């Protein structure tokens, strides 16, 4: 298994991006080639390596494993069937794909070398690496990196992507083996002191044949965690079909496959205490497995939190003004829509106020945009401080703002708030020794008195604001039904 290293942009990374772009944006002109290919190829030969369970393997003459279940899901979206072909060790299976003795190999990760004889689909799984020794020594640190690995004889499967970084980035003496069984046997017999493999494969093998003093850790940051389907290099139409099918698969179906082959629910996140309790009750062999999943579980929780934080940041950027931090036009429309529904149901009134700063252009022209921006930030903060928590103030762009006042008792309520806003925003702004001044014109429309739709409320408030400007600025104006 191989993929580019994290860190600086490398040729491998650039090639990987290029491969994905080709896979994702294949010209429409190839559609006929796909149809023609489907007519000519009804059966696809899938390589089944030894020693890759629970990813893929043969049991009682039947192909089983995570990848097999995944391919059966994919098959529902394709017009082909799978022929499962045992292909020997991992290296022998890579050779079989290169010689076109098989058409597809799962659990592959990208490398420049492999890209010479195989095409890669979109990624479909991510599998971390695991590290095990038989010292029986445990500590609180269940995660290791390439740079922190002890310099002891270590086993690894021939052809794995991690072989190269282990050789190039460490001084660890390596014993290359054909599969996980050979590697763990070498560990049992004392030929090596540690062994590296994909964490699911490692845990599965130890489950089958326990190692009493096994100490399993997560090997983090090593290349090869993202898995792809590798397809013979002359079958581009199959890559296109697989990409489409992978995209169409329901995430819940993928989650069910994980649950089937892993003893513990990882996506939801078990607590460490629950996992340890399970392992201690079940005995030492299961405890090794539990510890491995505890490590992975902890990592997944961190990853989930990172992703949630990133998603929150993306949502915030999409819904808030970058300069002032106020809700932007997008969030304003959402809140106005909710407010319309709520107040219609409750038969309550609310006000929409359109504000425009008078004299702001002159501030920009005389002092520069930096001063203007800082004035806008302070004006936004003044409005936040003055308004109720239930009120909403949004920046619509430039020096225009909108305020939503829910559950007002009367038009007078809105007028009082408008007067307070005018007084608050008219106070001098002291910025870097400069005293700046602006005023504000406010237009007010009321629901349901003036209008009952978003568009009409905005239109009437905007028109009222321009009336306030024409009346000398620094004031407010209630909307009229004639605009």
The two beta strands, 215-219 and 129-133, are antiparallel
The H-or-E segment that residue 374 falls in is helix 369-386
Give 373: exposed, middle or buried? Use CB within 10 Å, 0-12, 13-18, 19+: middle
Mean pLDDT of the chain: 84
Task: Provide Rg for the chain, Cα atoms.
Answer: 32
- 345 or 269, greater pLDDT: 345
3-state DSSP percent of the chain in helix, strand and coil, to 5? 45, 25, 30
Joined together, the tokens standing for residue 335 give 């809140």
Flag the least confident range among 25-34, 63-72, 268-277: 268-277
Is residue 156's pLDDT more than 70? yes
pLDDT in tens, 180-238: 999 999 999 999 999 999 988 988 888 888 887 788 888 888 887 789 999 999 998 99
389 or 277: whose pLDDT is higher?
A: 389
DSSP, collapsed to helix, strand or coil, labels residue 356 as: strand
Residue tagged 């796909």 (tokens): 34
Judge whether residue 78 has pLDDT over 90: no
pLDDT at site 203: 83
Residue found under tokens 């270590």: 154
For 43, list phi and psi in degrees, rounded to 5: -130, 135
Q: Return the residue matching tokens 């052809």.
A: 159
- Is residue 282's pLDDT more than 70? no
Nearest Cα neighbor of 37 from 231, 230, 237 is: 237
- pLDDT tens-place string over residues 55-75: 999 999 999 999 999 999 998
Closest CA to 82 of 201, 227, 231: 231
Judged against a pLDDT cut of 60, whether residue 272 lies above it is answered with no
The helix or strand, by DSSP H or E, that contains position 315, with its residue range, turns out to be helix 284-319
Q: Which residue has the higher pLDDT, 126 or 324?
A: 324
Q: Are strands 143-144 and 215-219 parallel, antiparallel or unpaired?
A: parallel
Q: Which residue shows structure tokens 């994909």?
A: 198
At 140, the pLDDT band (50, 70, 90 cuts) reads low
On the question of pLDDT at 12 being above 70, the answer is: no
pLDDT at 298 exceeding the cut of 90? no
- Per the CB < 8 A criterion, the answer to whether 367 and 436 are in contact is yes
Report the pLDDT averaged over residues 35-42: 87
pLDDT digits (tens, 9 = 90+) for 402-424: 999 999 999 999 999 999 999 99
Is the separation of the CB atoms in 94 and 69 below 8 Å? no
What pLDDT is attached to residue 110?
Answer: 87
Domains of the chain: residue spans and CATH? 1-126+226-262 (3.40.190.10), 128-224+263-315 (3.40.190.10), 329-478 (3.30.70.270)
* pTM score of the predicted model: 0.54
Report the alpha-carbon distance of residue 203 to residue 214 in Å, rounded: 11
């Amino acid at each position: 298994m191989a993929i580019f290293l994290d860190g600086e942009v490398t040729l491998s990374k650039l090639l990987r991006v290029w491969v994905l772009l080709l896979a994702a944006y294949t010209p429409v002109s190839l559609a006929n080639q796909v149809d023609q290919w489907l007519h000519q190829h009804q059966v696809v030969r899938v390589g089944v390596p030894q020693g890759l369970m629970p990813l893929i393997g043969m049991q009682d003459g039947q192909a089983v494993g995570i990848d097999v279940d995944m391919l059966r899901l994919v098959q529902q979206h394709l017009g082909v069937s799978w022929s499962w072909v045992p292909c020997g060790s991992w290296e022998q299976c890579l050779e079989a794909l290169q010689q076109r003795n098989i058409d597809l190999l799962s659990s592959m990760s990208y490398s420049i070398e492999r890209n010479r004889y195989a095409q890669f689909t979109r990624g479909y799984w991510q599998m971390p690496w695991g590290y095990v020794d038989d010292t029986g020594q445990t500590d609180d640190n269940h995660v290791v990196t390439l740079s922190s690995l002890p310099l002891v004889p270590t086993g690894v499967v021939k052809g794995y992507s991690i072989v190269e970084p282990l050789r190039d980035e460490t001084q660890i003496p390596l014993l290359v083996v054909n599969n996980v069984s050979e590697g763990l046997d070498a560990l049992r017999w004392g030929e090596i002191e540690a062994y590296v493999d994909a964490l699911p494969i490692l845990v599965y093998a130890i489950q089958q044949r326990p190692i009493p003093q096994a100490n399993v850790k997560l090997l983090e940051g090593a290349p090869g965690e993202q898995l792809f389907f590798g397809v013979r290099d002359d079958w581009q139409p199959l890559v296109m079909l697989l990409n489409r099918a992978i995209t169409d698969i329901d995430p819940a179906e993928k989650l069910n496959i994980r649950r089937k082959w892993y003893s513990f629910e990882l996506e939801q996140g078990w607590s460490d205490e629950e996992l340890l309790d399970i392992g201690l009750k079940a005995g030492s062999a299961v405890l090794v497995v539990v510890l491995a999943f505890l490590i992975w579980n902890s990592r997944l929780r961190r990853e989930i939190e990172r992703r949630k934080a990133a998603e929150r940041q993306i949502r915030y950027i999409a819904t808030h003004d970058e300069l002032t931090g106020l809700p932007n036009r997008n969030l304003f429309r959402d809140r106005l829509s909710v407010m319309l529904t709520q107040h219609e149901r409750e038969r309550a009134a609310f006000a929409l106020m359109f504000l425009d700063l008078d004299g702001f252009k002159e501030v920009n022209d005389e002092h520069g945009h930096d001063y203007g921006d800082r004035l806008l930030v302070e004006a936004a903060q003044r409005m936040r401080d003055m308004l109720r928590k239930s009120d909403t103030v949004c920046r619509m762009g430039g020096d225009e703002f909108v305020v939503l006042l829910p559950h007002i008792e009367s038009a007078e309520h809105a007028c009082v708030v408008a007067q307070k806003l005018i007084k608050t925003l008219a106070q001098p702004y002291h910025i870097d020794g400069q005293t700046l001044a602006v005023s504000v014109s406010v237009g007010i429309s009321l629901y349901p008195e003036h209008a009952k739709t978003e568009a009409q409320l905005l239109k009437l408030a905007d028109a009222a604001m321009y009336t306030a400007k024409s009346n000398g600025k620094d004031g407010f104006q209630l909307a009229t039904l004639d605009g």
